[in-house]
Structure 1
Amino acid sequence: MLANKRILLIIGGGIAAFKSLDLIRRLREQGACVTPVLTKAAEEFVTPLSASALAAQKVYRDLFDLTDEAEMGHIELSRAADLVVVAPATADLMAKMAQGHANDLASTLLMATDKRVLIAPAMNVRMWEHAATQRNLAILQGDGISVVGPDEGDMACGEFGPGRMSEVPEIVAAVGAALGGGPLQGKHVLVTSGPTHEPIDPVRYIANRSSGAQGTALAAALRDLGARVTFITGPASVPPPAGVGVVRVETAAEMAAAVDTAVASADAAVFAAAVADWRVENASGSKMKKDGSGNAPALEFAENPDILATVAQRTAGRPRLVVGFAAETDDVVANATAKRARKGCDWIVANDVSPETGIMGGSENRVVLISQDAAEEWPRLPKGEVARRLAQRIAEALAD
């Protein structure tokens, strides 16, 4: 997939730099030529000798090395690659990139390049969530820089949350997508994600505990395999991935309308959203107030549109592959199998969301992939890995 592609790999200074050595190896296994650049901070975590040995290339470290400037100046080095990858991209490197600093070799290369840039952020969760980092991220994405990750999980500092650098296979897939490769190149995949909010009045609403993490991870995984992704998301707590077409909705009716607009051109549609089954039919236009009587207002419910069944049962413009999700608390496989038949979709991805599993809103998932022929149980995995496995299956199905 990456045969003869030239990757300039800038390694930032963070504990995640150890993954960069495996990244070099995996990229070379795909046929890529990797030229490493180490920041001074990166040398505290990995050695130039290790990076050079794995890349079978000279490692570049110093902007003012006159020998290197004579052999390959920083301008030529920045433009000789097909893609510039920054992994790990620390908060400091992201800030330099966003503000246009060029005071060392890495930042100068990033300023001088005319090639695409892909970053894999890695930092402490508080640093990632800091307003300055998020501002810098928005600037970089606005400048057209691609982003993979970060993932959520345990960190070397002992904290938990978003900020872990993506795993190496995910970065390799993102490199392939950035270079225009991938088995889903030319395919359009629609993904729904997150909860829906069904208003009771202008202040209150009915919702569920879905974070949108699994749908978001799936959209990113499909993007990384080369797909054009339309990502229709309810008000999720997880931000949408970069590099996909985002459509934000709030209610089930809005999601149904957005799906109807996008689905006709889709090769596959994956319905990972936790859509509310009912809406409040007598929602108030003004905030409801207590009247002191002790009587709660009577809410009248109406069924929401069944988005999955509507698409799966289309007679015209149906995607080749329609995938639903089934969040169950009892008899998971039996209920999900019946749902697949009832809705008319090709696959159902079922999981147990009982409170004791910690899956609803958590960082891991344990699913059963149900088709017409089989129910395949997967082990408990990070949601990013579940997404990568499912995206690969989708790619295989569309290739048949």
Structure 2
Amino acid sequence: MTGELQGRRVLLIIGGGIAAYKSLDLIRRLRDAGGQVRCVMTAGAQEFVTPLAAAALSGEKTWTDLFDRADEAAIGHIRLARDADCVVVAPATANLMARMAQGHADDLATTVLLATRLPVLIAPAMNPAMWAHPATQRNLATLKRDGVRTVGPDSGPMAEPETGAGRMAEPMAIVAATQALFDVAQTPRDGALAGRHVLVTSGPTHEPIDPVRYIANRSSGRQGHAIAAAAARAGARVTLVSGPVGIPAPPGVDLVPVETARQMQAAVDAALPADIAIFAAAVADWRTDRDAARKIKKVGGGPPALALVENPDILATVAAMRAGRPALVVGFAAETHDVIALARAKRARKGCDLMIANDVSAGSGVAGGVMGGARNAVHLIDAGDAVISWPEMDKDMVAERLIAECVTRLEGLSEADLDAGSQA
């Protein structure tokens, strides 16, 4: 990590939570990576760590007061909001996130955040119940729509005798996320996909057994929805074909809700042609040969015999199209063992241009688990069997990097290739 932030100016806003003690280590880690750090502390933060400690570690004055006569004589809050390369909020407490989402400007920290035009990264930290509360999740969704990046939170023991999601990400993870803000190759340029159509599938499919039961999987749709959101931010017209999920569609996309694999196939066919097709949905491989019209009753004699038939292979069908094939077809491989080997074989079998592989086993090591969780660690496998492995990160950041990768690969194609994908 040494040197990756060389010369970058980081404005670190420290919120008022017990995780503020980690921010002192974060200052040191940011400086070890070559960054210059200036700190703003809320009143709550000063109950946990002192401005003197932050100043000693950063080598800069620590700013605390919106109404400081000397500082505000030169419009200090505006200067802080502009005189940096990025803003990192760590810890971002539930209260601070709420004030950011609502546009409050009642102290130095929130005033700077409202006035800044810089990239903003937050590291949420709070009690698990507060993190899971609908109000916090609404605020988080608002901040993400506003372009705020997130890192964490992690799961584990809390300061109080509780365990769950809400621990602030570790300092090195925050440093890595900060560095990613400046990596142009990892962030799609504004308007990079203007005039392009991107088709994304997301979520699980539900294959009915009878009116009350179905075959499904653990997919939450978070990764697919994040990809659709990133494509929309890059200027694309986005069609999101989604199975049943408990999260809202991102703003600016055309949502086509479906339930079964056959419905998803029909929706994909109707959405084509597209320039890029990304198949992130976890489509059920099988369905029953017929779903019962009435609930199957348990009347003794053992479980009912279910005859299964194979569902349509949407990814392989689109990848094999002769006319109107998208210029770039991307698949996902969720594996529990031999991840790269199985994903390579799947890419070759399906015929897609890029396969995104991830380990969804209980032992994957990804905080919170991949299926249904907020983080992911993926491997990209291309048609030449080259493997690019990305470190664990938030699914939003995976989405940003994947869309940036798609932009790069799309730009490398010939006009003939692009025309073939846009004309049917």
Structure 1-normalised TM-score? 0.71
Asked if the contact 1:282/1:299 (under 8 Å) is kept, the reply is no
Asked if the contact 2:344/2:385 (under 8 Å) is kept, the reply is no
Indicate the RMSD between aligned Cα atoms, in angstroms.
Answer: 5.0
Whole-angstrom CA distance in 2 between matches of 1:372 and 1:11: 45
The match for 1:373 is: 384
Which residue, out of 285, 293, 307, partners 1:277? 285
Whole-angstrom CA distance in 2 between matches of 1:246 and 1:258: 12
Whole-angstrom CA distance in 1 between matches of 2:117 and 2:340: 48
Asked if the contact 1:84/1:115 (under 8 Å) is kept, the reply is no
Which residue, out of 250, 266, 287, partners 2:259? 250
The match for 1:318 is: 325
Q: Which moved more, 1:13-22 or 1:240-249?
A: 240-249
1:197 matched to 2:206: yes
Q: Structure 2, unaligned stretches of length 5 or more?
A: 413-424
The match for 1:361 is: 371
1:305 matched to 2:316: no
Asked if the contact 2:91/2:168 (under 8 Å) is kept, the reply is no
* Alpha carbons of structure 1 residues 75 and 68: separation in structure 2 relative to 1, 3 Å: same
Q: What amino acid is the match of 2:355?
A: I
Asked if the contact 1:124/1:155 (under 8 Å) is kept, the reply is no
Q: What pairs with 1:1-400 in structure 2 (closer than 5 Å)?
A: 9-14=12-17, 15=19, 17-18=23-24, 21=27, 36-43=39-46, 48=51, 58-72=61-75, 74=77, 86-98=89-101, 101-110=104-113, 113=115, 115=117, 118=120, 120=122, 121-138=124-141, 144=146, 146-154=148-156, 157=159, 159-161=163-165, 164-165=168-169, 167-173=174-180, 182-185=187-190, 186-187=192-193, 190-212=199-221, 215=224, 232-236=241-245, 239=247, 245=253, 247=255, 248-260=257-269, 264-267=273-276, 269-284=277-292, 287-290=294-297, 292=299, 294=301, 299=306, 301-328=308-335, 335-350=342-357, 361=371, 369-374=380-385, 376=387, 381=392, 387=398, 391=402, 394=406, 397-398=409-410, 400=412
- Residues 123-173 of structure 1: CA distance to partner in whole angstroms, max 9, x if unpaired? 23222102332344455567x463524344446547343654473333454
By how many angstroms is 1:206 displaced? 0.8
Asked if the contact 2:227/2:400 (under 8 Å) is kept, the reply is no
Asked if the contact 1:128/1:163 (under 8 Å) is kept, the reply is no
Whole-angstrom CA distance in 2 between matches of 1:344 and 1:360: 25
By how many angstroms is 1:310 displaced? 2.2
Asked if the contact 1:333/1:350 (under 8 Å) is kept, the reply is yes
Asked if the contact 1:174/1:225 (under 8 Å) is kept, the reply is no
Whole-angstrom CA distance in 1 between matches of 2:242 and 2:138: 22
Name the SS for the 2:63 alignment partner: coil
Asked if the contact 2:360/2:371 (under 8 Å) is kept, the reply is no
Q: Which moved more, 1:81-90 or 1:338-347?
A: 81-90
Q: Which moved more, 1:311-320 or 1:49-58?
A: 49-58
Whole-angstrom CA distance in 2 between matches of 1:227 and 1:8: 29
By how many angstroms is 1:345 displaced? 1.0
- Residues 242-290 of structure 1: CA distance to partner in whole angstroms, max 9, x if unpaired? 67747354322343344445563434x33232211233453345x5152
Whole-angstrom CA distance in 2 between matches of 1:84 and 1:332: 36
By how many angstroms is 1:118 displaced? 3.9
Q: What amino acid is the match of 1:126?
A: A
* Alpha carbons of structure 1 residues 272 and 138: separation in structure 2 relative to 1, 3 Å: closer
Whole-angstrom CA distance in 1 between matches of 2:331 and 2:137: 32
Asked if the contact 1:194/1:215 (under 8 Å) is kept, the reply is yes
Whole-angstrom CA distance in 2 between matches of 1:338 and 1:297: 35
* Alpha carbons of structure 1 residues 83 and 208: separation in structure 2 relative to 1, 3 Å: same
Name the SS for the 1:10 alignment partner: strand
Whole-angstrom CA distance in 2 between matches of 1:96 and 1:389: 26
Q: What amino acid is the match of 1:313?
A: A
